[in-house]
């Protein structure tokens, strides 16, 4: 009869099982490169540029990426490039269009962002402050709505085109003038939005609770950036306008900033904080 595996008799004892007879289970180890990728993804390491149309986002992007301004129209697609802040530090910059139909794409990049820069045209903010505040409000709401497991990016407000303001009688720099103007107008417009929507939706983080810092129009503390629940908000004055005529550049800080296209302060901040 052909040989084959024979079944043991029904009353035969079962073979003894020992630890030595059980094959070891080797856990799957994530390779170092994959582990680093997961860590970097959870932390975010990119600079995300967002803001209204015509605020100068793409001009800032081209100055950072290509060291000179490129002729730009209203951008309808996201731009991305890696820039070198120092010999040992590279940063990816993502420029999200400000067109109302597609600016919501900004939220798709929040997980990759370490810094979110909201770019404002400080020269026209007095005319379109309400629309700019509406856009910024959606950004603030997106940041405070992130899950607790995700660290939100640092928020920068870039008061761009500061060079178009000129100096006033106090001798303040154009950067200081731009920051003061943008901060004042945005706080005022965000406070109006808080009051008008207090009985509706999306007032998170806009100071709807009572406080000791004065009263808004509804008896609650008016909105102030330093009290925003999402963390510190940093204001910087910038100008991405290319400088022509090297002989006309002034000495000192203004010269160095002119040679850097008005982004010297921003680059210094990024090198220190990215």
C-alpha dihedral over 273, 99, 194, 200, to 10 degrees?
-130
Please write the tens of the pLDDT for every residue from 16-72.
Answer: 545 455 455 444 444 444 433 444 344 578 999 999 998 999 889 989 988 776 665
Give the SS3 label for residue 155: strand
Checking if the pLDDT of 164 tops 60, the result is yes
Task: Provide the token pair at 224.
Answer: 């102030």
Please write the tens of the pLDDT for every residue from 223-273.
Answer: 999 999 999 999 999 986 654 443 344 444 444 444 566 899 999 999 999
Which residues, listed in sequence order, are joined to residue 233 by a DSSP beta bridge? 155
What domains can you pick out in the chain, each with its CATH number?
122-200+213-274 (3.40.50.300)
Give the SS3 label for residue 94: strand
Round to whole Å and give the CA distance between 67 and 260. 8
The set of residues, in sequence order, having a beta carbon less than 8 Å from that of 42 and lying 6+ positions away, is: 150
Q: Of 131, 125, 146, 116, which Cα lies nearest the Cα of 233?
A: 116
242-247 LR contacts (CB < 8 Å, sep 24+): 242/68, 242/69
Task: Pick 8 or 81 by higher pLDDT.
Answer: 81
Please write the tens of the pLDDT for every residue from 101-110.
Answer: 777 788 888 9
pLDDT of residue 127: 94
Give the SS3 label for residue 112: helix
Please write the tens of the pLDDT for every residue from 197-209.
Answer: 765 444 445 644 4
CB 211 within 8 A of CB 227: yes
Residue pointed to by tokens 């605020």: 55
Give the SS3 label for residue 81: strand
**pTM (whole model) above 0.75:** no
Round to whole Å and give the CA distance between 46 and 44. 6
Task: Pick 253 or 121 by higher pLDDT.
Answer: 121
């Amino acid at each position: 009869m052909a040989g084959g595996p024979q079944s043991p008799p029904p009353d035969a004892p079962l073979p003894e099982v020992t630890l030595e007879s059980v094959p070891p289970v080797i856990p799957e180890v994530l390779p170092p490169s994959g582990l680093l990728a997961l860590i970097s993804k959870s932390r975010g390491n990119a600079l995300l540029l967002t803001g209204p149309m015509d605020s100068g986002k793409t001009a800032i992007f081209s100055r950072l990426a290509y060291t000179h301004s490129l002729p730009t129209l209203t951008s309808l697609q996201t731009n991305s490039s890696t820039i070198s802040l120092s010999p040992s530090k590279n940063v990816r910059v993502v420029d999200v269009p400000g067109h109302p139909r597609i600016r919501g794409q900004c939220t798709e990049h929040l997980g990759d962002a370490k810094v979110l820069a909201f770019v404002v045209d400080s020269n026209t903010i007095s005319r379109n402050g309400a629309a700019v505040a509406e856009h910024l409000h959606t950004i603030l709401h997106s940041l405070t709505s992130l899950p607790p497991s995700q660290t939100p990016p640092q928020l920068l407000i870039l008061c761009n085109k500061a060079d178009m303001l000129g100096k006033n009688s106090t001798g303040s720099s154009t950067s200081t003038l731009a920051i003061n103007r943008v901060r004042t107008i945005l706080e005022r417009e965000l406070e109006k939005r808080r009051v008008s929507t207090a009985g509706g939706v999306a007032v998170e983080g806009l100071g709807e609770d009572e406080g000791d810092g004065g009263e808004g129009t509804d008896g609650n503390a008016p909105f102030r950036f330093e009290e925003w629940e999402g963390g510190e908000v940093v204001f910087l004055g910038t100008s991405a306008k290319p400088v022509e005529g090297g002989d006309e550049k002034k000495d000192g800080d203004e010269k160095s900033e002119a040679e850097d296209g008005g982004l010297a302060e921003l680059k210094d901040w990024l090198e220190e904080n990215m």
